[in-house]
């Protein structure tokens, strides 16, 4: 009841404060060292379409034909693997569907009668780009490839991928199978929030156990960026004759994550190296430390108020010189119910950039507030000592 009340109260009692005038922000410190801003011209990049974004805010740093509709080949498996890793019972083994694994192109080597888990199939997708793994997972999750594709498109809409249409779980060419560089960047930002997904795609190799009977194997990740770029955390390669070379990459440095997408890029490795370097030179990490001020919240059923204070600071990545675009919101309930203990979280301060919440600081109770006595005991309560 208490948690439900607070969630509702937050919606009904939202105080918005400007970061430049609000006492909620006492100081802003730069956490990343000063660096020279690098530039990349569109003519320097081989890709037909490309985009670079900061992951937390999805803010575009650099773009080239970012909304041009193009095939995206096996980078499709980012969606398939993400949906696979969102399932329950990831380590439960089952016999893979015979029809599903009978597919052309890259493969993790599934054979008729093999047993695998959903986690193993996700590893097969994100390392050796197994089309058999993608189809097998689709059938296991949804019962058929067709129904799984419906789930893919539903999830794409929820993520905000407005110019994407999925037809295959693997990324093999199909007439209505397409996306854009920006949509794929949005997908990758969402996928990296999943710890299982990130752990697999950021590893140069992964163990996978499957077969009939299952036995352990080592699958090497074919994403060269993991070996050549400092801080690389993935993510997925792709190629068909129709799509050309496609690559979605991400790298982390000093708490900042930069995502780069290229579609139909003959020189994709060089493109990504240049664009990621430019991305990191364009973004700075700021530390927002709220002032140590007290906010008072009424306690229901009493004349008391409970004081809350900020519990720490928040790191926020933004484009250099764009600090004024960060919005601060203080979220507090209209009132709270006792009992409350010192240190309980009763609200938060949010930092919003490009319409995304990119940082939070909890607001915690400064002291205890015990349950109030709301009424005098009645005759029978006095007579029997309050026992039923």
Helix, coil or strand: residue 156: helix
Buried/exposed 366-384: b ≥16 CB within 10 Å, e otherwise: eeebeeeeeeeeeeeeeee
**Assigned superfamily of 42-285:** DD-peptidase/beta-lactamase superfamily (3.40.710.10)
Average pLDDT over residues 213-242: 96
Average pLDDT over residues 11-25: 41
Residue 2 has pLDDT above 80, yes or no: no
pLDDT in tens, 267-322: 999 999 999 999 999 999 999 988 777 889 999 888 789 999 999 899 999 999 99
pLDDT in tens, 134-149: 999 999 999 999 999 9
pLDDT in tens, 347-357: 999 999 999 99
∠ CA 72-73-79 to the nearest 5 degrees? 75
pLDDT at position 5 is 29
Residue 178 has pLDDT above 70, yes or no: yes
Smallest Cα–Cα separation from 248: which of 190, 163, 169?
190
Average pLDDT over residues 325-334: 94
pLDDT at position 388 is 45
All structural domains of the chain with their residue ranges: 2-26+290-365, 42-285
350 φ, ψ to 5°? -105, 145
Residues 6+ positions from 321 with CB-CB distance below 8 Å: none
pLDDT at position 384 is 59
Residue 382 has pLDDT above 90, yes or no: no
CATH 1.10.8 fits 2-26+290-365, yes or no: no
pLDDT at position 16 is 41
Cis peptide before 213 (omega within 30 of 0): yes
């Amino acid at each position: 009841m208490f948690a439900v009340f607070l969630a509702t109260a937050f919606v009904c009692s939202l105080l918005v404060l400007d970061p430049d005038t609000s006492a909620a922000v006492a100081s802003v410190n730069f956490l990343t060292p000063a660096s020279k801003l690098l530039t990349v011209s569109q003519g320097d990049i081989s890709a037909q379409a490309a985009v670079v974004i900061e992951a937390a805010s999805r803010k575009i740093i650099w773009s080239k034909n970012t909304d041009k509709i193009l095939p995206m080949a096996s980078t499709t498996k980012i969606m398939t693997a993400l949906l696979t890793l969102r399932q329950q019972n990831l380590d439960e083994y089952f016999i893979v569907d015979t029809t599903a694994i009978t597919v052309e192109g890259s493969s993790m080597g599934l054979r008729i009668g093999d047993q695998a888990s959903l986690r193993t199939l996700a590893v097969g997708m994100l390392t050796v780009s197994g089309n058999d793994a993608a189809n097998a997972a689709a059938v296991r999750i949804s019962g058929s490839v067709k129904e799984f594709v419906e789930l893919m498109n539903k999830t794409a809409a929820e993520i905000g991928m407005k110019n994407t249409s999925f037809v295959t779980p693997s990324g093999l060419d199909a007439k209505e199978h397409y996306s854009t560089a920006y949509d794929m960047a949005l997908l990758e930002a969402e996928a990296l929030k999943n710890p299982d997904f990130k752990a697999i795609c950021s590893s140069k190799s992964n163990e996978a156990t499957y077969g009939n009977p299952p036995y352990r194997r080592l699958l090497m990740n074919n994403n060269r960026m993991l070996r050549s770029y400092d801080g690389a955390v993935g993510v997925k390669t792709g190629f068909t004759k129709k799509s050309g070379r496609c690559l979605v990459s991400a790298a982390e440095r000093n708490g900042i994550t930069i995502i780069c997408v290229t579609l139909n890029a003959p020189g994709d490795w060089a493109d990504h190296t240049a664009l990621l370097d430019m991305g990191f030179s364009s973004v700075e990490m700021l530390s927002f430390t709220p002032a140590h001020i007290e906010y008072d919240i009424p306690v229901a059923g009493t004349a008391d108020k409970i004081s809350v204070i900020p519990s720490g600071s928040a790191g926020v990545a933004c484009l250099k010189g764009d600090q004024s675009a960060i919005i601060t919101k203080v979220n507090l309930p209209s009132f709270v119910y006792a009992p409350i203990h010192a240190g309980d979280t009763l609200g938060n301060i949010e930092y919003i950039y490009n319409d995304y919440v990119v940082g939070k600081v909890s607001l915690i109770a400064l002291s205890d507030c015990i349950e109030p006595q709301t009424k005098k005991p009645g005759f029978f309560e006095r007579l029997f000592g309050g026992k039923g």
